[in-house]
Structure 1
C-alpha cells in the first residue's frame, strides 16, 4: 500500500538528501532515481497555499513510484521549508543545486522565485510549475520557467469584464502585504485601469488593521471590491464589508482559494466571486480529480482543495513530459518534451506548451452560494 510522507518525514528526507549526494550524479539522475528540488513555505507566510500544493504533487509522485516509476527510475521530491522568506529560498536553492537535482519543481511565491532565479538563469536547470503568478515569469526574461497557471493580469481581466456586465466598474482593492499579494496587486492595478475600471481606493490589510482598511475602502463609495489575500484574511474582510452594509460584488483572486474561502465563510460568503485557474476541485467528472480523491482517502489527508489539485496537476504534467523524453533522459530532452506538449489531456485537464511556456490559460469565476457551496 502506498503511504504519504508526513511533513516531518519530508523535512527529514530533505536533510538527508542535502547532506549527501552519494550514488547520484550531479545532474540529479541515477539508474534508479530522478531527483527534483523544491523550496516553499511548509510553515509560516504562504503555507496555507504552498503546503497543499506540495501535498498534491507528492501524492501523484507517490502514485507513479508505486507503479515502478519512469523507466525504472523513482521520482524523489526533495522539499525544504523557506517559510515564505526569499533569502531562505535562495539559500535552499543553492543547497539543492549544489547537491545535484535534475530540475526544480513547484516553488511558491513570486518574490521567492524572483530571488532564486539568477541561480539557474544561465544553466539548463528548469523550474517547473512554480505556484507564482507574477506576469513577468511568462516573458522573455525568465526562459527557464515553465508555468502551469496563467498570470495575474488574466485574472484581473476576467474580474473587470464580469464587473462591467453588472455595471459595477468603480473598484476598491483590499490587499494583504505579503509578496505574492503585492505581485497580484501590481497586475490588478495595471490591467484593470487599462480595461477602463475606475480604481477609487486601495487599502492594505495587516494584522489588527483590517477594520480600518475596510472603512478606508468604503469611504471611497466603491461599486465593487477586489480582495487580494489568502482565505483567512479575505474571510474577515468579507464579514466586515457585509456587516458595514456593502452589498455590491466582492471578488477574490486565485490566491484567495475559492473552496477554502467557502469553508471559512459558509452562507456568509453568498455572492462572493473567486477566480479559479484549475478545474472545480470537487468535480467527479474528471479522472484526475477521482484519482486525487482516492489518493487523499488512502493518505487520510482530508478534502481536496484548489491548491492541492494544482500541485497534483503539476506533477501529472511533469511526469507526462518525463515519459515522452525517452529512457536516455537529459535536461535538454526534458525541455523538448515539455515544449512538445500540444493540447494534451492529463486526466481530463488539457495543457499546451507549444506556443509559450504556460500550460493553461484557464481562468474561471466561481461564486459562493447561500448554502456556502461553490458554484460555477
Structure 2
C-alpha cells in the first residue's frame, strides 16, 4: 500500500504544523482551527501498522477540512514520530501539551500509552482512540483514555470460544517479546485459562529464526496455537508451524493485522483465524468501509487494511463528537460530547460511550482461506 506521504514529507508537514500551532490558545482552538496532538511510530518498530492508522485518520480529516471543517474550523492533526520508543513518546507528548492541543489522538502501542499517561493523568486533556489494547487502559487508573477498541481479554475470549467449539482445548502460545505482544500475552494467559483452555506451554520468538521456538511449542502436543506478534513475525511462525506438520487451528490477535497477514501468507495462510476489532477492510456490507474505499481510491492510496480502517473510524467518531459541541469547543465540552455518544451509528459502525470509556466491543474472527483471502 502507498503511504499518504513519503516519510520525509509527512514529518515536514508535522513539524510545520507543530510550529504553526504555537499561536493557538492553550486548549488548541483558534477562530480557524482545532489542533489535535498525535505521536506514533512513523518509522521504526510498528511503523507499518501505525502509518496505516495515521493514514486512515488523516484521510478523513482531510475530507472534513475540504468541506469547510467543523463549524468553520479546520482540524489540524499534528503528528510526531516516536519511532516506536516509549521514551520518545513521553518527550513528544510533553511537546504537544506544551504547545496547547484540544486533545491527544490515536497513539500507537500499549507501552507508549503507559509512558505518556502520567503527563495527562491529573489534567483535563484526554487521549482518544489509541491503537493499544492492554486491558488496564479500560480501567479506573486510566480515566483520561477513551478507547474505540476492546481489550485483549475480549479478543482472547472470542478465540477461546472458537477453539472450544472445534474441540481444541489444548493450547500453546508463541509470542514476540515487544511490549505490545507481552501485554497481549498476559491477557491471553489470564483469560484463556479462566475459560477452561489447557495452556500447555508458551514460547518466545525473536528475529527470523523461529524454528526452536516452534519446536518448543509443538513438543507437548497442542491442538491449537495462538501466535502473538506483528504480521511480519507472525507470518514466519505460521509458515514454520505448517512446515513442521501442525494442521490444527492457528490464531492471531488484532495486532497481527488480519489483512496484512493474509497478504504475506497467501495460500500458506489457509486455516489461520485472526481477531479484528473493526469491520473487514475489503468488505462491502458496512457503509463506512465503502466510503473509506472510495476516499482511498480518490486519493490513490491503494487497498485499505484493517489499521487504516481503524484510523478512519477514529477520525469519524472524533469529528462526530466535535460536531455535537457548541461553536466554542473546550476540553470539558469535548469530553461531555464523547460521553454522550449513545449507541450511535457511524456509517454502520456502532459506538457507545455512555457510562463507558470503551466505545466499541466489536470482536470478529476472520478466516484466511486457501487463496489467501479473508473470509468471515
Q: TM-score range, shorter-chain basis?
A: over 0.9
Question: Could you tell me how far apart the structure 2 residues matched to 1:286 and 1:166 are?
Answer: 29
Name the residue aligned to 1:241: 241
Structure 1 residue 221: Cα displacement? 1.1
For residues 197-231 of structure 1, the C-alpha deviation after alignment (integer angstroms, 9 at most, x for no partner) is 11111111101431111111111211110000111
Structure 1 residue 63: Cα displacement? 0.4
Aligned Cα RMSD in Å?
1.3
With over 3 angstroms needed to count, the CA separation of the structure-2 counterparts of 1:22 and 1:172, relative to structure 1, is closer
Name the residue aligned to 1:70: 70
Question: Could you tell me how far apart the structure 1 residues matched to 2:331 and 2:264 are?
Answer: 43
- Residue 319 of structure 1 pairs with residue 319 of structure 2: yes
- Residue 136 of structure 1 pairs with residue 149 of structure 2: no
Name stretches of at least 5 consecutive residues in structure 1 with no aligned partner: none
Question: Could you tell me how far apart the structure 1 residues matched to 2:274 and 2:4 are?
Answer: 30
Question: Could you tell me how far apart the structure 1 residues matched to 2:237 and 2:74 are?
Answer: 45
- Residue 110 of structure 1 pairs with residue 86 of structure 2: no
For residues 89-119 of structure 1, the C-alpha deviation after alignment (integer angstroms, 9 at most, x for no partner) is 0000001111111100000000000000000
The number of residues matched between the two structures is 374
Question: Could you tell me how far apart the structure 2 residues matched to 1:8 and 1:74 are?
Answer: 23
Contact 1:256 1:274 in 2 (8 A): yes
Structure 1 residue 7: Cα displacement? 3.3
SS in 2 for 1:141: helix
Contact 1:20 1:99 in 2 (8 A): no
With over 3 angstroms needed to count, the CA separation of the structure-2 counterparts of 1:165 and 1:88, relative to structure 1, is same
With over 3 angstroms needed to count, the CA separation of the structure-2 counterparts of 1:263 and 1:116, relative to structure 1, is same
Contact 1:55 1:311 in 2 (8 A): yes
SS in 1 for 2:24: coil
Question: Could you tell me how far apart the structure 1 residues matched to 2:374 and 2:283 are?
Answer: 11
SS in 1 for 2:101: coil
Contact 1:367 1:374 in 2 (8 A): yes
Question: Could you tell me how far apart the structure 1 residues matched to 2:20 and 2:50 are?
Answer: 26
SS in 2 for 1:13: helix
The equivalences for 1:167-206 within 5 A come to: 167-206=167-206
Contact 2:207 2:233 in 1 (8 A): no
Q: Please, what TM-score do these two structures have when normalized by structure 1?
A: 0.97
* Segments ≥4 residues shifted beyond 4 Å: 3-6
Contact 1:158 1:363 in 2 (8 A): yes
Question: Could you tell me how far apart the structure 2 residues matched to 1:334 and 1:86 are?
Answer: 27
Name stretches of at least 5 consecutive residues in structure 2 with no aligned partner: none
Q: Please, what TM-score do these two structures have when normalized by structure 2?
A: 0.97
Between stretches 20-29 and 47-56, larger displacement belongs to 20-29
- Residue 35 of structure 1 pairs with residue 35 of structure 2: yes
